[in-house]
Structure 1
Amino acid sequence: MGWNNILLEKEDNLAVMTINRPKVLNALNGETLRELDEAVEQIAADDEVRVVIITGAGEKAFVAGADIAFMQTLTPLEARQFSRLGQKVFSKIENLPQPVIAAINGFALGGGCELAMACDIRIASENAKLGQPEVNLGIIAGFGGTQRLPRLVNPGLAKEILFTADMYDAEAAHRIGLVNHVVPAAELMNFCKNMARRIAARGPIAVRLSKEAVNEGLEMDLEKAIAHEADLFAVAFATEDRNEGISAFLAKKKPEFKNK
């Protein structure tokens, strides 16, 4: 499928999705979000894809935010529709069956930080900058940032980030738990692809069930969450991959998972 603002490439069991608007630092407008939605739907339906990497085109930005020029003329009703579109697409990314790694190769501000937070794992290059600067424009984060940020860092720190519009470099973002790792810019994609390949080599159904257990369990109290875990544990035992994994372990050989 041809898109104006999104590139989607497959490498074996990996999919690499690139926001491709480098002239505007990959800022998100309505068209880009709709194309991203289509790309995510395509990935969700592709059983060959076991891990997804999302990044931005160029060397300056992952996604510098929502497209401010696009937002300038929005009415309050249109702004709500734009917010709901972004929320819908980012929730789809968060709930993809496959793990999603954000390769943060520069500015991840506003909607870009929100996109990164919708991913499962965040890897930042040393030149990355993260933050939620919306209050500088007299608006608030609208693509889920006010909700995902306090779930990733503590609520008090999330409020500080949202209220001050301060920008965090990669090391500071790592210290507060907003990113998992910081690597040199030249090594970012190789680092992400190596991690993706390690994940892809594991039992794919087990990986998906692990993601489901974490995502859904976070919205439950502990008693319900561990009961849900037990249900998913039982689901794993109904798969051919479970038989292969345990048999291979006992035979001291490498398992050959078939995603069944």
Structure 2
Amino acid sequence: MEMLNTHCGVTRDARGVVDVAICNAGPLNILGSPVTDAVREGLQQLCSDRSIRVVVLRGQSEKSMIGGADIKEMAKLDQKSAEAFISRLRDLCEAVRQFPAPVIARMPGWCLGGG
């Protein structure tokens, strides 16, 4: 697996199928700010690669695709930082929605909350 950054790993095959893994986010793949930003940035890096025919988005863990937003981080937020947190999640969703190839979610287990 090629790591685009700390939390976004990529595996490619010859057919143009790109597996994007949410990495180093704990056994349930929790979406904290660093993870959310990194996965969005990884998708943005891949946007210009016209050889990609489809993206399979998955969590690194087999326990869940996404265990939801990081509740521990959320408990420490004030209004301004909470707005930034929600904006990050929205921006990640928008990056998936705007990706120039189809994006398929691989969900072997849970997909909760912000997932």
TM-score by length of structure 1 reads 0.41
CA contact (8 A) 1:21 1:27 kept: no
Counterpart position of 2:78:
75
Matched, 1:31 2:28: no
Tell me which amino acid in the other structure corresponds to 1:88: D
Q: Provide runs of 4+ in structure 1 moved above 2 Å.
A: 21-24
Q: Deviation of residue 85 (structure 1)?
A: 1.3
1:42: how far off? Answer: 1.5
Superposition CA RMSD, Å: 1.4
Higher strand share: 2
- Residue 22 (structure 2) aligns with: 19
Question: Any gaps of 5 or more consecutive residues in structure 2?
Answer: none
SS at match of 1:111: coil
Comparing both structures, which one devotes a greater share of its residues to helix?
1
For residues 32 and 101 of structure 1, the distance between their equivalents in structure 2, rounded to whole angstroms, comes to: 19
Identity of aligned residues (%): 29
Q: State how 1:1-260 maps to structure 2 within 5 Å.
A: 2-12=4-14, 13-21=16-24, 23-112=26-115
Q: Which whole-Å CA distance do the structure 2 matches of 1:47 and 1:82 have between them? A: 31
Offset of residue 24 of structure 1: 4.2
CA shift in 2, pair 1:98/1:61, >3 Å: same
Taking CA–CA contacts closer than 8 Å with sequence separation of 6 or more, which of the two structures ends up with the larger relative contact order?
A: 2
Task: Please give the secondary structure, in 1, of the residue aligned with 2:76.
Answer: coil
| Paired residues, number | 112
Unaligned runs of at least 5 residues, structure 1: 113-260
Indicate if the aligned counterparts of 1:6 and 1:35 stay in contact, CA closer than 8 A: yes
Amino acid at match of 2:59: G
